[in-house]
């Protein structure tokens, strides 16, 4: 069995699909402490969404420890620790817990995802041609150079020694990479950060790690996972049929990333869709009334066989632009505000599905994907296919039918990505 441990839902899905497209039967399961963890007999890859990204360090460690103890992992099973490609979350905490519990000698760490413009040079993560600390993905108050340097960020959460392999050595190929890994391990390094700027680099890093004479935990984004899925050389033509994909589609956007605004604007004049812009002040001041109002409008749109795009007002998409008066008035931190948005959009989507024929969802942003799935009581998804790089199509049982669900990280894609996803689903 191959196990993938991810800290949010979109990350779990964009990694799981790397296996599905190679012929592996892959399931993503959202951890639910009220239920036991069950792996179907015919499963090749089990992806666990731990939902630990937004937790405090100690709580994340405790939750991950509890999950690992419930999984029947043996020494022959293969483990991949999925991390956010912009380094959000309790990365070192979770790596350390996994290594301690599963007795791994080293962690080979490379978060690069070249197809989504995330590369690692000199230990620095570069996103969209900018160091992470200078990009819109920077999420804390560290100095810009510290917020981009991976070893520094990792050392903040772990006592493990962190080593580094530079691009000049990676470019020399597998033999040199393996030699560097061995030397760093002999010096006591437990986590090894490896530069990578291309698909070939990731392939060489993966192959070198397999040759290490010891137990290895691989960790990175969906980029490295793409090569991780070559272990058993599956060649099966795994095809899962989907139903009702021609009908109306609901797009629910909760991401704060500016890319999503561009993607929504792109489809406005190209598709027969209706745009519902959520008024955040109204959902805080009069939630029940506005929820009923939005639900009625949305159901009518679906009944008219039109696609529906639901998103928040752009002014609330960035903490820097947030209406501070509104946060003060309702005594909300920015995180609590995000949770309000997640819960409201989950409830709105539930009410629309309960009263319409909609069977197709595109969920953007890990918070929103989780909020919608939890409200629908969906905790397991079968990954069907990769529609665009890192963007999977899944199916889930809901009531007495199946939902088609596309999950997408907010920062993924270009201006036309959302438009292309809608067309690909309808023509699948």
Q: Where are the domains of the chain?
A: 2-228, 249-426
Q: What is the pLDDT of residue 404?
A: 96
Q: What is the pLDDT of residue 77?
A: 87
Neighbours of 397 (CB within 10 A): 13
Neighbours of 148 (CB within 10 A): 24
Query: Would the CA dihedral through 70, 4, 151, 145 be positive or negative?
Result: negative
Q: What is the pLDDT of residue 330?
A: 81
Q: What is the pLDDT of residue 321?
A: 47
CATH architecture of 2-228: 3-Layer(aba) Sandwich (3.40)
H helices, E strands: number in the chain: 15, 18
DSSP 222-261: HHHHHHHTTTT-----------STTS-EEEEE----HHHH
Q: What is the pLDDT of residue 407?
A: 93
Give which of 234, 210, 241 is closest to 19, Cα–Cα: 234
Distance CA 395, CA 27 (A): 10
What is the three-class DSSP state of 365?
A: coil
What is the length of the chain?
428
Give Cα separations from 308 to 47, 246, 271, 311, 312 (angstroms): 30, 14, 10, 10, 13
Nearby residues of 18 by Cβ (< 8 Å), 6 or more positions away:
222, 225, 226, 228, 229, 386
Long-range contacts of 288-291 (CB under 8 A, 24+ apart): 291/344, 291/347, 291/348, 291/351
pTM score of the predicted model: 0.85
Dump pLDDT digits (tens) for 64-118. 999 998 888 888 888 999 998 888 899 999 999 999 999 999 999 999 999 888 9
Query: Would the CA dihedral through 54, 59, 65, 67 be positive or negative?
Result: negative
Q: How many Cα atoms sit within 13 Å of 368 on the Cβ side?
A: 25
Q: What is the pLDDT of residue 322?
A: 52
Element containing residue 124 per DSSP (H, E)? strand 124-127
Q: What is the pLDDT of residue 205?
A: 96
Virtual torsion, Cα 330, 335, 340, 346, nearest 10 deg? 180
How does the average pLDDT of the chain come out, rounded? 88
Q: Are 12 and 82 in contact (CB under 8 A)?
A: yes
Residue labelled with tokens 């560097």? 180
Q: What is the pLDDT of residue 181?
A: 98
Q: Tell me, which fold does domain 249-426 have in CATH?
A: Molybdenum Cofactor Biosythetic Enzyme; Chain A (3.40.980)
Please report, in tens digits, the pLDDT of each residue of the chain (428 residues total). 899 999 999 889 989 998 988 888 899 999 887 666 767 778 899 999 999 998 999 999 999 999 998 888 888 888 999 998 888 899 999 999 999 999 999 999 999 999 888 999 999 999 888 877 766 666 654 455 567 899 999 998 899 999 999 999 999 999 999 999 999 999 999 999 999 999 999 999 999 999 999 999 999 998 998 887 777 666 566 666 788 888 899 999 987 677 888 899 899 888 889 999 988 888 888 899 999 999 999 999 999 999 999 998 644 444 444 556 677 778 888 778 888 888 999 999 999 999 998 999 999 987 889 999 999 999 999 999 999 988 999 999 998 889 999 999 877 888 999 999 999 999 98
Q: Are 39 and 1 in contact (CB under 8 A)?
A: yes
Phi, psi angles (nearest 5°) of residue 198: -145, 165
Q: What is the pLDDT of residue 317?
A: 43
**Longest alpha-carbon distance in the chain:** 66
């Amino acid at each position: 069995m191959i196990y993938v441990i991810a800290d949010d839902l979109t990350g779990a899905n964009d990694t799981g699909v790397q296996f599905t497209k190679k012929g592996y039967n892959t399931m993503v399961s959202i951890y639910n402490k009220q239920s036991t963890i069950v792996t179907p007999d015919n499963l090749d890859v089990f992806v666990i969404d731990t939902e630990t990204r937004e937790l405090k360090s100690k709580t994340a460690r405790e939750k991950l420890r509890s999950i690992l103890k419930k999984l029947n992992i043996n020494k022959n099973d293969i483990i991949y620790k999925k991390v956010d490609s912009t380094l959000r979350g309790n990365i070192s905490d979770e790596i350390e817990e996994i290594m301690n519990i599963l007795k791994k000698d080293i962690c080979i760490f490379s978060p690069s995802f070249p197809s989504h413009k995330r590369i690692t040079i000199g230990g620095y993560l570069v996103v969209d041609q900018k160091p992470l600390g200078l990009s819109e993905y920077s999420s804390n108050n560290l100095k810009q150079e510290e917020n981009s340097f991976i070893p520094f960020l990792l050392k903040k959460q772990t006592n493990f020694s962190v080593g580094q392999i530079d691009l000049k050595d990676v470019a020399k190929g597998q033999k040199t990479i393996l030699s560097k890994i061995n030397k760093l391990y002999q010096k006591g390094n437990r986590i090894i950060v490896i530069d990578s700027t291309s698909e070939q680099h990731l392939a060489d890093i993966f192959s070198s790690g397999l040759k290490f004479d010891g137990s290895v935990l691989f960790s990175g984004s969906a980029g490295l996972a793409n090569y991780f899925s070559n272990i058993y050389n599956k060649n099966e033509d795994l095809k899962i049929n989907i139903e009702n994909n021609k009908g109306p589609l609901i797009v629910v956007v909760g991401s704060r990333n500016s890319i999503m605004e561009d993607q929504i604007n792109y489809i406005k004049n190209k598709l027969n869709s209706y745009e519902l812009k959520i008024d955040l002040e109204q959902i805080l001041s009069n939630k029940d009334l506005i929820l009923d109002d939005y639900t009625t409008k949305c159901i009518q749109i679906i009944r008219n066989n039109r696609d529906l795009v639901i998103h928040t007002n752009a002014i609330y998409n960035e903490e820097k632009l947030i209406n501070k008066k509104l946060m003060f008035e309702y005594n909300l931190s920015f995180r609590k505000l995000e949770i309000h948005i997640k819960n409201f959009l989950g409830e709105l989507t539930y009410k629309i599905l309960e009263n319409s024929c909609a069977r197709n969802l595109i969920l953007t942003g890990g918070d929103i994907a989780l909020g919608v799935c939890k409200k629908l009581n969906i905790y397991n998804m079968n990954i069907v296919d990769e529609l665009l790089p890192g963007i999977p199509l899944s199916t889930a049982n809901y009531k007495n039918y199946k939902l088609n669900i596309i999950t997408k990280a907010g920062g993924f894609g270009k201006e036309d990505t959302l438009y292309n996803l809608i067309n690909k689903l309808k023509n699948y």
